[in-house]
Structure 1
C-alpha cells in the first residue's frame, strides 16, 4: 500500500504497533506500541500534529471503531479497509475457545459493522466482503470499492527449469485452508508410488517469525496427521519464516486448497514467480485462475487427483502454465493496479 501511495506522489505517515525486524523502509513511520492505551494516545497525537485529510484504517483489532470515531470527531475523512474475516466473526486469530472469547468476537464484529457505517469509503480486499456488506445495508455498497491484494512483479518472466521440489504450501495452517486434506493427499500419492518433494510452511505451533500466533490447535492436529503419514523423506514442515519467497522459487507448484482464494497474497506472490497454483474452487477463484491455463482447479475437491495431474505434466505443458500464471498476476494484480485504484479514490 505504501509503495503504491509513493508511486502516485502521496507521502503518508504510517502508524505501526511494532516491527519484528529493523525497519529501513522509506516511509514516515511512527511506532505506536503494543499497549492499547499507548496506541490510542499516539493516534490522537498524530492526528493533531500531522493533520491528515483522511486516514486509512487498516486494522484488525477491536480498536478499529475507536480510530474511526476519533477521526470523525476531528473531521478527518475515513477510508476503512476490510482485510479478512472481520465481518464473519473470525476465530482464526485465537488459540482457544471460551464463552468470553465468543462474546469478544461478537463485539468486535459489531464494532466493525458500525465502523463501516461511519466511514467515508470502504475498501474491500476479498469477494465475500461485498456479500457481507450488502447483508448489513445495501446502501453501503455505494461507498465500497473492491481492491484486491497486489504484489510486486518483475518486468520479465524467468524460465523455470531445474526446479528441485514439487509442491509448497505457504500460508497460515488454519482450518479454512484445508491443510489436513493436502497432507492426506500427499500420503495417498506416496502409497500409489508417486515420487515427490513437498514443503508446508505456516505451522504456528512450530514457530512464527512474522505474525501473531493463531490456530495452534488445528496446527497441532495437522502435524499429528503428518507424523502418522510417514512422509519424513518427502515433506518438510516448518512455521512462519521471513523471506518465504526464497523457498517458494525452489518449488514448481503452489498449493492452496482453501475456502477463500481471492486474493490470497502468498498465492499471487507465488504466481508472480511462475509457480503453477493448485487450488480448490474457493470464493473468487475464477478471477485469478483458469483451470488448465494458468493453474489446476480441483473442482471435485479431489486434491490427490489434482496433484497427480500436476506431476504428470510435460515440461512444455508446465512452462506454458507457468508463463500464464506470471502474466495473469502482472496484468491484473501488480502494484500498478493498486496505484491507479488508490489514485481514483483520492
Structure 2
C-alpha cells in the first residue's frame, strides 16, 4: 500500500488515535502502531477501530528488537514518532539507520522542557529530531511558538490541528446530563474552580445531573497525569458533601456515551485549543462553556457557546440562564455541531497529514 507507516512512542491506543487509524484505512494507507499500553485498554480500542497494533513488553531490549524487526519486516516508507521520553532517541536512531521518512508528532509540552537551553538533553534530542525528520507535526499554537523560540528550522514544522469524525446521527436525542466535564484532571484545568461553580448552581438547581470524568486514580493511579490534583479535587468534593450530587468517573472507554447525552460541556483551562474532548462534545451538540484560555476564540464564539473569565458568579449566571432557555440552548447546540463539521473534521486532518508526507 501507498505510504505504509509505522507509529512509535504511543503510551496506549485510544479513541483519538483510532480516529486517525480509521481514516488511514479508509484512504488505503497501511499503518501499524507499536504501543506501550499503560492504560491496559489498547486491545479494546484496536478492535473498535480494526487497527493493527502490537503491544510492547516492558523489557527495553525486547522493545529494541521489536523496533528493528518491524522496520525490516513491515517495510514502512514513513515512521511517525511521538516524544515519550528517552525512547525517542531509540525510535529516531533506528528509523534513521533504516532510512525511513520520519514525521515527529508533538502533542503538548514536549518543547517546554527545552527551556531554550542548548545544553539540555531535551534540546539536543529535538535538535537531532529536527535534523533527521521529514516534518515536525505540531498540534497546538503554543508549541509553534516554542518551536521557533528554541531556534528550530521553521521549514520543518507543519501545524495540524486535532480533528474528529462526525458522529452518526441517532434517533435517540435524549440529553439527560445537564453539565459535563470529560477530560483528565490536571492543575492547569481548573477543576476546583469548576466544583465551586457547581456547588453554587446546586444551591439554585439541586436536581441537575452533573458528571465529572477523568479521575484516573479511581481506576489505576499509574495512569494519572496529575496524581496530587486528582486527590485534591476528590477530597474537596467529599468535604463539601457533593459526593451524592456529582457523578464522578475515572477513565471512560466510550466517551460518546457521555458526550451524546450532555447539554453543556464545561472546560475551564489554561489551553482550550484544540482539545479532543471539547471537539467531540460539540460534535454531539453539547454547548461549550470555556475559560478565556489560549486559543478559545478559534473554536468557541457567541454563536455556539461562551468564553468566560474565571469568575464563579458569572459562570453560575450563564449556566443557569442557558439551562432555563431551551430555545437558546438548541440554537447554540446546532451551531456547535456545524462548527466542528465545517472546520475540524478528520477528513481535513488527513489532507494536512498528506502535506506533511509530501512536503520538503
1:120: which partner in 2? 134
Decide which of 292, 303, 316 is 2:327's aligned counterpart: 316
Q: Is the 8 A contact 1:172 1:204 kept in 2?
A: yes
Q: Does 1:190 align with 2:202?
A: yes
Shift of 1:284: 1.4
- Return the TM-score normalized by structure 2: 0.83
Deviation per residue, 1:288-342 (Å, 9 max, x gap): 111x2111111x2214422431221211100110011111111111111112112
Q: Tell me the equivalent position of 1:151.
A: 164
Residue from 269, 274, 281 that aligns with 1:263: 274
Q: Using the TM superposition, give the Cα deviation of residue 108 of structure 1 relative to its aligned residue in structure 2, in angstroms.
A: 4.8
- State which of 93, 118, 129 in structure 1 corresponds to 2:143: 129
Alignment-derived partner of residue 101 in structure 2: 77
Going from structure 1 to structure 2, the CA distance change for 1:304 and 1:111 (only over 3 Å counts) comes to: farther
In structure 2, do the counterparts of structure 1 residues 277 and 159 end up closer, same or farther at CA, with 3 Å as the change threshold? farther
> Does the aligned pair in 1 maintain the 2:164–2:279 contact within 8 Å?
yes
In the TM superposition, what is the alpha-carbon distance from 1:228 to its structure 2 partner?
2.2
5+ long unaligned stretches in structure 1: 91-105
How far apart in 1 are the matches of 2:246 and 2:284? 22
- Structure 2, unmatched stretches of 5+, are 1-19, 115-119
User: 1:224 aligned to 2:235?
Assistant: yes
2:324 is the alignment partner of 1:305: no
1:283 equivalent among 294, 319, 322? 294
Per-residue CA distance 1:3-39 (angstroms, 9 max, x = gap): 2222322112222224523442433333332333222
- Residue 12 of structure 2 is matched in structure 1 by none
Aligned to 1:295: 305
Kindly state the Cα deviation for residue 110 of structure 1 after the two structures are TM-superposed: 5.0
Quick check: 2:297–2:307 contact (8 Å CA) kept in 1? no
- Which of 243, 268, 281 aligns to 2:254? It is 243
- Residue in structure 2 matching 1:2, options 21, 39, 60: 21
Alpha carbon RMSD of aligned pairs, Å?
2.4
For 1:15, the equivalent position in structure 2 comes to: 34
1:51 maps to what in 2? Answer: 75
Instruction: State which of 30, 54, 73 in structure 1 corresponds to 2:54.
Output: 30
